[in-house]
Amino acid sequence: MRYLPKSPADRAAMLNAIGARSIDDLFEPIPAEYRLNRDLKIPRQMAESEIVDWFRERSRENGDGHATFLGAGAYYHYRPVIIDSLISRGEFLTAYTPYQAEISQGTLQSIFEFQTMICELTGMEVANASMYDGSTAAAEAVMMAVRLTGRRSVAIARSVHPEYREVLATYAFHQGMPTATVPFAENGRVDMKALEKAITAETACVLIQSPNFFGTIEDVETIAEIAHGNGAMLVVSIAEAISLGIVEPPRLADIVAMEAQSFGVPLTFGGPYCGVIATREAYVRQMPGRLVGQTTDRNGKRGFVLTLATREQHIRREKATSNICTNQALVALMANIFMTVYGKVGLRELAKHNLAKTAYAAQQFGKQSTVLFDAAPRFNEFVVQTSEDPYAINSRLLGHKIVGGLPLKKFYPELGNASLWCCTELTTRTMIDTAAGLIAESERSQATSDEEASVEQVAQ
């Protein structure tokens, strides 16, 4: 086996040194009746070239070469090539959690820079080293608010990513945490009247997403006023990190739970991504996850260490703020490099390109079909209502090697034939025109068949 650095003679010499007759001696502690005396029934050992071929085949079966209008919590942005050059360095790729600070300064300093940039972008005072993803970060942020307020229920906007809400429901159910769902209004934003009604004296926090699942930017200020006025915290989830380049961050939030996938992390069919929690300094001791802090060594030299570990499971065990151990360090490094590449000016320009493509697409789509929630500002996603089932439209679009928007029926049956479309800097005008053309065609043929139907009715 090519990964194993031993010759048969090495093994024999080692067994001899140990005083064992054969390797089986070392497995004596396992009762004989349980030992496996056959080969595992898995594929035979393959050569490297065969492995590459096998996965190439899978890649071809997986939409290789398609352009996409899908977003909905996973965004297709350009990834500067230096991200992979740098994260492929063995010193980053094959290191573990930086427990031994003296030989982990590379990882530690880069996490410190990551925490700093997340604070700058979210308007929060502290950020952790990463969580699993946006959905678990949101759930952990809610649990953090429960600990901080001593209250036990939560009000969740229905415009939060449906899968984030599902994850929270899983976590909340077993904690005995009552949840209230707050509907959205005509403009796709949180219904303020319903929100006021949903908050009780037991509400620990209000969880919203902005831009929300429909791409609409929430009125964070008003929501914060309502939440804080009732003694509840405000947790804001951000699924599309690029929005932070041009959309005002939720500075009035108590906790921000974000997904940093848009910052240079490949889609990879849904993961690994990079959750982050950011909050105010006063709440840091209730924050889950790793934190890196600055300190000095014996000679007064600046250095970085994992800090405030007394919140964590390996010290506090059942009293820890969370059970999280492994996080998403390498993915956070991708995000870190991405934020560094675009920086202060580039991130804004990049966000503006997203805004421009989306505005153009919404305008083109709106010519023949209805773009919902048009009254509120949006970032790079919008909802289109069509007469025809969006699955049918999408299947025609697939013929052009374009993946259409996400049909919303599954998550929001009340929205009928609506679908969620996303444009990024990688969406071309040609793609938009092709999709808008197909939708226009569909609307025309639907109108014609409606007409025919009514003519038939009259005839009868």
Partner 1 sequence: MSKHMTRKATRHVNQNEGLIFEKSSPGKAGWKLPPLDVPEVDSTTLLGAAERKHLGSMPEVSEIEIIRHFTRLSTWNYAIDLGMYPLGSCTMKYNPRVNEVVSRLDGIANGHPYQPEKISQGALRIIKTLSDCLVEITGMDAITLQPAAGAHGELTGLLMVRAYHDSKQASRKKVLIPDSAHGTNPATAAMVGYSIENLKSNSAGIVDIGVLEAQMTEDVAALMLTNPNTLGVFEQEIHKIADILHAKGGLLYMDGANMNALVGKVRPGDFGVDLMHLNLHKTFSTPHGGGGPGSGPVAIKKFLEPFLPKPVVKSKSDGTLAFDYDRPQSIGRVRSFYGNFGMFVRALAYILANGPDGLRQTTEDAVLNANYIRKGLEGTYDLPYASSSMHEVVFSDKLQVKKGVRTMDIAKRLIDYGFHPYTTAFPLIVPGAMMIEPTESESKEELDLFIEAMRSIAQEVDEDAELVRTAPHSTRVSRLDETAAARKPILRWKPEV
Residues in 373-432 at the binding interface with partner 1, rule: CB under 8 A: 377, 394-395, 398, 403, 406, 425, 428-429, 432
Q: Is position 23 an interface residue for partner 1 (rule: CB under 8 A)?
A: yes
Does position 8 interact with partner 1 (CB under 8 A)? The reply is: no
Q: Which of 315, 392, 447, 455 binds partner 1 (CB under 8 A)?
A: 315
- What's the token pair of residue 354? 């997203």
Which one among 21, 150, 201, 301 touches partner 1, defined by CB under 8 A? 301
Residue closer to partner 1 by CB (options 165, 199) is 165
Site size toward partner 1 (CB under 8 A) is 198
Report, in Å, the least distance between residue 218 CB and partner 1.
9
Q: Is 290 in the site for partner 1 (CB under 8 A)?
A: yes
Residue 21 in contact with partner 1, rule: CB under 8 A? no
Name the minimum Å distance from CB 444 to partner 1. 24
Query: Looking at beta carbons only, is 199 or 329 nearer to partner 1?
Result: 329
User: Beta partners for 421?
Assistant: 382
Mapped onto helix, strand or coil, the DSSP state of residue 191 is: coil
Query: Of 238, 277, 347, 372, which one interacts with partner 1 (CB under 8 A)?
Result: 347
List the one residue from 207, 242, 260, 305 that touches partner 1 (CB under 8 A).
305
Binding residue for partner 1 (CB under 8 A) from 335, 339, 436, 439? 339
Q: Which tokens sit at 320?
A: 């820890």
Site for partner 1 in 164-223 (CB under 8 A): 164, 166-167, 169-171, 173-176, 217
Stretch that binds partner 1, among 123-131, 191-199, 225-233, 365-373 (CB under 8 A): 123-131
Give the whole-angstrom CA distance, residue 372 versus residue 310: 48
Beta carbon of residue 260, minimum distance to partner 1 (angstroms, whole number):
12
The residue assigned the tokens 């974000």 is 258
Cis peptide before 272 (omega within 30 of 0): yes
Tokens encoding 143: 């649990």
Strand pairing report for 67-68 and 255-259: unpaired
In the complex, least distance from residue 175 CB atom to partner 1, rounded to whole angstroms: 6
Indicate which single residue of 18, 375, 392, 447 sits in contact with partner 1 (rule: CB under 8 A). 18
Which residues contact residue 256 at a Cβ distance below 8 angstroms, ignoring those fewer than 6 apart? 122, 123, 124, 141, 235, 236, 237, 238, 249, 250, 276, 277, 278, 279
Q: Does 310 participate in binding partner 1 (rule CB under 8 A)?
A: yes
In the set 355, 383, 408, 439, which binds partner 1 (CB under 8 A)?
A: 355
**3-state class (DSSP) for residue 325:** coil
Least separation in angstroms between residue 196's CB and partner 1 is 21
Provide long-range contacts, Cβ within 8 A and 24+ apart, for 300-306.
Answer: 303/101, 303/105, 303/108, 304/101, 304/105, 304/108, 304/109, 304/111, 304/112, 305/101, 305/108, 306/97, 306/98, 306/99, 306/101, 306/108
Which C-beta is closer to partner 1: that of 21 or that of 298?
Answer: 298
Name the segment binding partner 1 (CB under 8 A); options: 20-28, 146-154, 185-193, 223-231: 20-28
Q: Closest by alpha carbon to 156, among 379, 166, 405, 148?
A: 166
282 belongs to the binding site for partner 1 (CB under 8 A): no
Rule CB under 8 A: choose which of 159, 212, 237, 327 binds partner 1. Answer: 327
Give dist(CA 187, CA 170) in Å, integer: 29
* Rounded least distance, CB 68 to partner 1, Å: 6
Describe the crossing of helices 429-459 and 329-366 by its angle, rounded to 10 degrees: 50
Binding mask 36-65 for partner 1 (x = CB under 8 A): x--xxxxxxxx-x-xxx-xxxxxxxxxxxx
280 scored as a contact of partner 1 (CB under 8 A): no
| Closer to partner 1 by Cβ: residue 88 or 460 | 88
Sign of the four-CA dihedral 433, 438, 442, 448: positive
Distances (CA, A) of 89 to 113, 114, 129, 239, 341: 18, 18, 20, 29, 18
Helix, strand, or coil here: 190? strand
The vertex-261 CA angle with 255 and 265, nearest 5°, equals 150
Site for partner 1 in 58-117 (CB under 8 A): 58-66, 68, 70, 72-74, 76, 80, 82, 84-107, 109-113, 115-117
- Give the integer Cα–Cα distance in Å for 246 and 261: 17
> Taking the complex as a whole, how short is the minimal distance between the CB of residue 197 and partner 1, in angstroms?
25
Close Cβ partners of 108 (under 8 Å, ≥ 6 residues apart): 98, 101, 292, 303, 304, 305, 306
Instruction: Select from 215, 245, 264, 390 the one that contacts partner 1 (CB under 8 A).
Output: 245
Residue 11 contacts partner 1 per CB under 8 A: yes
Binder of partner 1 out of 150, 296, 399, 413 (CB under 8 A): 296
Nearest CA to 105 out of 295, 292, 303 is that of 303
**Residue 153 or 199 having the CB closest to partner 1:** 153
Measured CA distances, 140 to 103, 175, 203, 274 (Å) = 31, 12, 16, 14
Q: Pick the binder of partner 1 from 268, 445, 448, 454 (CB under 8 A).
A: 268
